[in-house]
């Protein structure tokens, strides 16, 4: 997990509230990613950013938003439009060009009550 921090580790929110998950990296990697993981499932890509001030939708972007104002930071906002927000959220980075390995943060477990 070294070099990528996600906070908080556990987050509880009431239904209908927006919530922002933090992801910070000191690896100097250009590309950053947000994934969602449901129990017993694989990872699904929400959004990714290959460079500052640019990002693209992944497979399940509806109900989520992101920003990439700094190379080190890629916050994810889970909006009230996301129907089933309770999940484990993972942030990752990738170095260099395409087709490399990804490095993951420790994750944030979001529970919407």
Q: Which of 23, 78, 92, 112 binds other proteins (CB under 8 A)?
A: 92
The number of residues in the chain equals: 113
Reduced to 3 states, what is the DSSP secondary structure of residue 90? strand
If one asks whether residue 113 binds other proteins (CB under 8 A), the answer comes out as no
Q: Taking CB under 8 A as the rule, does residue 109 contact other proteins?
A: yes
Order across the sheet with 64-66: list the strands. Answer: 4-7, 19-25, 76-78, 64-66
Q: Are strands 10-13 and 108-112 parallel, antiparallel or unpaired?
A: parallel
Residue 43 within binding range of other proteins, rule CB under 8 A: yes
Which positions touch other proteins (CB under 8 A)?
1, 4, 31, 35, 40-45, 48, 50, 58, 88, 90, 92, 94, 97-107, 109
């Amino acid at each position: 997990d070294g070099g990528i921090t996600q906070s908080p580790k556990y987050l509880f929110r009431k239904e209908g509230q927006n919530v922002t998950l933090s992801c910070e990296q000191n690896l100097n990697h250009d590309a950053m990613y947000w994934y969602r993981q449901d129990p017993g499932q694989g990872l699904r890509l929400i959004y990714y950013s290959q460079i500052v001030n640019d990002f693209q939708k992944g497979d399940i972007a509806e109900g989520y938003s992101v920003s990439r104002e700094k190379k080190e930071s890629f916050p994810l906002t889970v909006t009230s439009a996301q129907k089933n927000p309770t999940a484990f959220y993972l942030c990752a980075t990738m170095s260099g060009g395409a087709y490399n390995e990804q490095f993951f943060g420790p994750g944030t477990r979001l529970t919407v009550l």
